[in-house]
Amino acid sequence: MKVMIRKDSAGTLSVYVPKKDLEEAVVSMQHPDMWGGTVTLANGWLLELPSMATGTSLPITVDARRVGGGE
């Protein structure tokens, strides 16, 4: 699914899922730079993100795969 990842002025990462009209904060990351691993959203969703270069500028739209979590 397409998701947009952005960082606010306080440095908080969030993920927006347009098809669900859902925006949730990232609460944990498998890798410190998040790319190529999984992230957990505040609603419990677990998303697998593609591999990208460290320091990739945000906001960015990527293809992510939901691999678990709440409804």
| Residue 48 belongs to domain spanning | 2-68
Angle at alpha carbon of residue 30, lines to 27 and 36, rounded to 5°: 115
pLDDT in tens, the chain (71 residues): 999 999 999 999 999 999 999 999 999 999 888 899 999 999 999 999 999 998 899 999 999 999 988 76
Strands, DSSP E only, in the chain?
2-7, 13-17, 22-29, 38-41, 46-48, 60-63, 65-68
Number of domains in the chain: 1
What is residue 71's predicted lDDT score, i.e. its pLDDT?
63
What is residue 6's predicted lDDT score, i.e. its pLDDT?
97
CATH number at residue 47: 2.40.50.240
65-68 sheet: strands from edge to edge: 60-63, 2-7, 13-17, 22-29, 38-41, 46-48, 65-68
